[in-house]
Amino acid sequence: FLFALICSMSLFTACSDDDDDKIKDPVIGTWKVPAVELDENNSVIGGSVFMTWEAPEDTYLSFLPVSAIPSLAIQMGSVILPQVLQDVTLSADGNIVATYSSAGIDLSGEKPITPVWETSPADYATFKLQGNGKMLLFLNLEKIIADANTKADITTVISQLLELVKNGIPVNYALSNNNEEVKIFIDKELMTTIAAMGQILGDLPTAMSKTTKFELGLNLKK
């Protein structure tokens, strides 16, 4: 869900405007957020969010065992995401544009909220492909903070985050079903880097040190 919010933002230049420099890769295009998948008992079994977190059984994040977190993330994320994100476009010029709604969310299913779709604003995020199913995501944090009317204290953690954003956020992608489906996700390496930024993240550094595999991201379809 965090990566979805990142993808809900759009551009600041990372690639040339020259037609000869247009990106040519099957991941380029508009990717739609699929509806939530339910079983015969109307329980969530899948959808737009996926998560894998492999660690020893005694690994906890706060009071939750790590083994319980993926199912919770999939259930909540797959219900929430289609209500706030309709699609994400990875453009050939390196820009990211999303169709999103800020009308609100409904977790109960009792008061459905009609999305009001709009296009993400400019100067927020871009990407650059690295090959082998990897890309770098670049964010304009100054504009994001300014547009959110947020006053941020420049702490050590913020400074480290700014450095990470400056160098590009490493993101993975995997195409399947004749390039009609894509998984876009972050992995253990990135989460370990984030976890090392400060004690503000609680038990996450310890949990990541025990983790053998971590993936969190989106399932999207053409």
pLDDT digits (tens, 9 = 90+) for 129-145: 999 999 999 887 777 66
| Distance separating alpha carbons of residues 112 and 62, to the nearest angstrom | 32
How far lies 208's CA from each of 55, 68, 71, 187, in Å? 8, 15, 18, 11
Model pLDDT, residue 142: 72
Digit-coded pLDDT (tens) for 40-71 = 887 887 899 999 999 999 999 888 999 999 99
pLDDT tier at 168, thresholds 50, 70, 90 = confident
Q: Which residue has the higher pLDDT, 118 or 151?
A: 118
Q: How far is CA 221 from the centre of its chain?
A: 15
Which two tokens mark 81? 């995401």
User: Model confidence at 164, in pLDDT bands (50, 70, 90)?
Assistant: low
Residue tagged 């253990």 (tokens): 188
Question: What distance in Å separates the CA atoms of residue 140 and residue 105, rounded to the nearest whole number?
Answer: 26
Mean pLDDT of 109-115: 79
Mean pLDDT in residue range 65-86: 91
pLDDT tens for residues 169-208?
899 999 999 999 999 999 999 888 888 876 556 788 999 9
Match 């699929």 to its residue by tokens: 34
Q: Are 148 and 176 in contact (CB under 8 A)?
A: no
